[in-house]
């Protein structure tokens, strides 16, 4: 039976799912490290507008995903991978 967290993960777009996967694989599961990296990249010069827009969108997505995890005391990666019950 699908839990509310499974349903939430099923509702996520490809971008959100990718961010969760990247957070775990590249940043050791840390939203803070991922946010810091993206913010540093955003400050870099010169930059391409399209990339900056993507970073802005990702920063917003990360905040939403992190808030959900903190509110429910879960790791969304467990639900995307199907490890959580």
* Whether residue 51 has pLDDT greater than 90: no
Written as six digits, the tokens of 64 are 């939403």
**Rounded CA Rg of the chain:** 14
Contacts of 27 (CB under 8 A, 6+ apart): 33, 34, 37
Q: What is the pTM of this model?
A: 0.65
Query: Is the separation of the CB atoms in 65 and 19 below 8 Å?
Result: yes
Confidence of residue 47 (pLDDT cuts 50, 70, 90): low
* Whether residue 11 has pLDDT greater than 60: yes
Mean of pLDDT values over 53-82: 90
Domain ranges, ordered by start, for the chain: 13-81
pLDDT tens, residue by residue, 24-45: 988 899 999 988 888 888 787 5
Closest CA to 5 of 81, 58, 61: 81
d(CA 69, CA 47): 31
Contacts of 31 (CB under 8 A, 6+ apart): 23, 62, 65, 66, 69
């Amino acid at each position: 039976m699908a839990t509310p967290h499974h349903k939430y993960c099923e509702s996520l777009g490809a971008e959100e799912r990718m961010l969760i996967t990247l957070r775990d694989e590249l940043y050791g599961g840390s939203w803070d490290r991922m946010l810091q990296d993206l913010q540093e990249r955003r400050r870099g010069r010169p930059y391409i507008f399209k990339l900056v827009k993507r970073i802005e969108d990702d920063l917003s997505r990360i905040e939403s995903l992190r808030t959900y995890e903190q509110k429910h005391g879960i790791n969304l990666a467990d639900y995307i991978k199907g490890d959580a019950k």
